[in-house]
Structures are given as structure tokens and as C-alpha cells.
Amino acid sequence: MSVYSDILDRYESEGRLRHIPDGDAAAGLLDCSTNDYLGLAARADIADEFLRLVPERRFTSGASRLLASVQQPYGELEEYLGSLYGKSVLLFNSGYHANTGAVSALGSAPHTVIVADKLVHASIIDGITLGKAPYVRFRHNDAASLRRLLEKHDGGSDRMIVVVESIYSMDGDVAPLREIAALKRDFPKMLLYVDEAHAIGVRGCRGLGVTEELGLEADVDILVGTFGKACASAGAFVAGSAEIRDFLVNSARSFIFSTALPPVNVAFTRFIFEKITSMTAERAHLDSISAIFRSGVERITGQKNVSQSQIVPLMAGCNARAVAISSELRRRGVLALPIRRPTVPPGTERLRFSLNAGMTETDVDMILTLLKEAI
Ligand SMILES: Cc1ncc(COP(=O)(O)O)c(C=O)c1O
């Protein structure tokens, strides 16, 4: 047996062997597993309208942005997002590319320290690992712990890049962005990097994220957004100063060394983002059903403050229980996937429910009833 099968056997015995699901895993089920928070992925009317109105039909860029002869759809989307965010915008092929590229590149400037929340996404951790900058992690969502680290590293660095998510992907809680941004007054070397992957489309009056909701645009130096979640598309962007954009064009390896997104996909993102900015009713509905669902989960499980968003975890305590509850729910018609280590720390294995604006209050009541029976 090879070393690889030994490792796979160990994963299996620890209940954390991953499988790619067969076929359409959500067929006939109420799907709480995707990040399609506005329920747009299934909207045939939007796809039809795009195909009718937008002439773009190029399915490949044929090269990296730095070499491609097609530039116009990228430029248009960057300019549009730039005008919404009041920043300079650079597109990346995915959120994974954006974080690995931007975090590693920004960390390559001399005398930089990265100060990241303990629960940031794997793409940020990989960006930190790829870069050369020293890094430290502060306690999750704890601005006092962050302050202590900033005090410690202020003297020995030229810049401290604080990296957080606005809505955390596995816990659904929201970073204390106001408190974190306020630290910039005491630490002028601090740059604030916020990954809004799970908040784009969902938070803020135009769906631009928690930064918009809290009016912190001027305090956030680098904002990352992704298109594969509420935008029902694919790709990502980094918004920052013109200088940061130029720097990333020259140093973000995931930007430089990867074929740019297909133009047709970029044109679709431009088309759908504009619609999303005015989906205030959908955002309000999602907010309302999420509040109902969160209090239902709290009632059923006795957990407190389960989340502050459309992402709601149900703590199972171990892999086996997470898998068992997920299977039982699936048998009853609801798809909510178990989240196991190493995606989450040991002991915090869970089911992750992600709600979307296409669900009704009746759907949410039904999920709660089935959940109560399943556990
Ligand atoms: C916070 C966060 N950032 C980035 C990503 C990666 O985005 P993408 O799926 O576009 O690669 C994810 C993916 O789930 C995420 O949760």
C-alpha cells in the first residue's frame, strides 16, 4: 500500500474522508448547502434576459490579463465596481485567487506584519503561507486581542495588515468592524483588509457588504468580494487604492500567471451585479427569514447567539454526529452538509445551513420542524 492510501485510511477512520457528491445532490431537496444567498442561480428569467440583451459570447480570454487581447469586459466591470466602491478594482479568477494573490503580494513589502483573525478562510491562510511576511493571529472577533498584537508589533514593523472577514463563512458571525477600524486611529501603520465574500449582495443598502452597511468605506483599505456566491457567477475582485491595484498587477502571482476569466462570464457578472444593487426587498426578506431560523435553532438546541447572518451553524460536537444529523435531514427532504475538520477546529464539527432569498417563511418553518425531529 502506498503512503497515500495509508493517509486516506486514516481520514476514513477519523470520519473525515471527503467525497465529491454524485449527480445533483440537491435534486428534490430543500437546498441549504449553497452560497447562492439571493436565490439567483436558479433564475432562468435572469439567464434568458442576459442571453437576449448582452451580445458577449466569448468563452475564453485565451491568456492572462497581462497578455490577453480582449480587455473591454474586464475594464467595464472594474470601472463599474470602482464607481460603486469608490476604489480602484482588479478582477481575479476566484476568491481563492484573490486572497492567495493579494495577501502574499501585500505581505512581500519589507517590514510588513500580517495580523489575521484566528478563523479566516483557507485562501487567506494560504496567501499568508505563500508570502514572506511574519504573521500573528488574534482571537476570533476580539478587538482587544487584536489591539494587544498591534501594540506588540508596532515598533518592529513599517505596516501591519489586519485581515478579517466581514461575515465568517462557517460561523455566520460578523466581525466587529467598527471597533477594528477604530484601532487605525491609535495605529497609523495599520491597513485594514476585509474579505466580504459572504456579505456581497446581502448586506448594505446596495448589497456592497458590511463595510457599506456600517459606512466604513474610508477605513477599509483593501476589500475583497467574490462573485460565486450571492452573485450567481464566478470570479472575484480586490478593491483598494490605485497604488495597491498597480502593485497587485505587478506582484500578485495568481493574477499574473493564470488565464483570465471567460469574457462571457465577466459580462454576466456586470449584468447581474447591477440588478443586485437594487434587490433591497430580497435582502430584507433574507434578513427576516434568517432571524426566524436563528431563533428556531436556538430554541431547538439551546445554543445561544448562533449567528448574525444567513449562515447558521448547528454544532454537532463530532464528525459522526454531524454526518448522522445531515443524513437524517436529507432522508426527510433537506440538504444541509456536515462541516468537519480540518475545515473547522476539532470539537466544533457542525451542520452548516445557508439560507437564500428564494426560500419562504413556510420553508424555514418546515426545515425547523424536520430538524427538531432529526436531532
Ligand atoms: C471568506 C471566503 N473568502 C474566499 C473564498 C473563496 O472564494 P471562491 O469560491 O470564489 O474561490 C471563500 C469560499 O468559500 C470564502 O468563504
Nearest to 17 by CA among 338, 345, 354: 338
pLDDT band at 22 (very low <50, low <70, confident <90, very high): confident
pLDDT band at 21 (very low <50, low <70, confident <90, very high): confident
Average pLDDT over residues 342-364: 93
pLDDT at 352: 96
Which residue has the CA at smallest separation from atom 13 of ligand 1? 95
58 burial level (CB within 10 Å; 0-12, 13-18, 19+): middle
296's enclosing H/E stretch is helix 280-301
Contact 368, 353 (CB under 8 A): no
Q: Is the dihedral angle over the CA atoms 168, 171, 173, 177 positive or is it negative?
A: negative
**Angstrom distances, CA of residue 21 to CA of 18, 27, 55:** 9, 12, 35
ω into residue 342 within 30 of 0, thus cis? yes
Question: Quick check: is 169 catalytic?
Answer: yes
Better-scored residue on pLDDT, 132 or 5:
5
- Only one residue has cell 448547502, namely 33
φ/ψ of residue 238, rounded to 5: -120, 130
Integer-rounded Cα radius of gyration of the chain: 21
Average pLDDT over residues 20-37: 89
Average pLDDT over residues 122-145: 97
Nearest to 179 by CA among 112, 239, 117, 120: 117
pLDDT at residue 38 above 80? yes
pLDDT at residue 1 above 80? no
Report pLDDT digits (tens) over 195-249: 999 999 999 999 999 999 999 999 999 999 999 999 999 999 999 999 999 999 9
- Only one residue has cell 482588479, namely 90
Average pLDDT over residues 4-28: 87
Average pLDDT taken over every residue of the chain: 96
Give the HSE-up count for residue 30: Cα atoms under 13 Å, Cβ half-sphere.
22
Give the HSE-up count for residue 355: Cα atoms under 13 Å, Cβ half-sphere.
33
Ligand 1 proximal residues by C-beta, below 6 Å: 94-96, 99, 121, 123, 165, 169, 195, 197, 226, 228, 236
Atom of ligand 1 minimally distant from the CA of 97: 11
pLDDT band at 27 (very low <50, low <70, confident <90, very high): confident
Quick one: fold of 57-277? Aspartate Aminotransferase; domain 2 (3.40.640)
Region for residue 305 given its phi and psi (left: phi exceeds 0; alpha: psi -120 to 50; beta: otherwise) = left
Report pLDDT digits (tens) over 297-330: 999 999 898 999 999 999 998 888 999 999 999 9
Question: Quick check: is 56 catalytic?
Answer: no
Question: Quick check: is 165 catalytic?
Answer: yes
pLDDT band at 358 (very low <50, low <70, confident <90, very high): very high
What residue ranges do the domains of the chain occupy? 27-40+279-374, 57-277
| Residues in the chain, overall count | 375
pTM: 0.97
How far is residue 177's CA from residue 194's CA, in Å, rounded to a whole number?
9
Q: What architecture is domain 27-40+279-374?
A: Alpha-Beta Complex (3.90)
Question: Quick check: is 121 catalytic?
Answer: yes
pLDDT at residue 71 above 90? yes
User: Between vectors from CA 6 to CA 4 and to CA 10, what angle results, nearest 5°?
Assistant: 115
Neighbours of 373 (CB within 10 A): 10
Counting ligand 1 atoms within 8 A of each CB, the residue from 37, 97, 169, 203 with the most, and so the one to mutate, is: 169
How far, in Å, from the CA of 369 to the mean position of ligand 1?
31
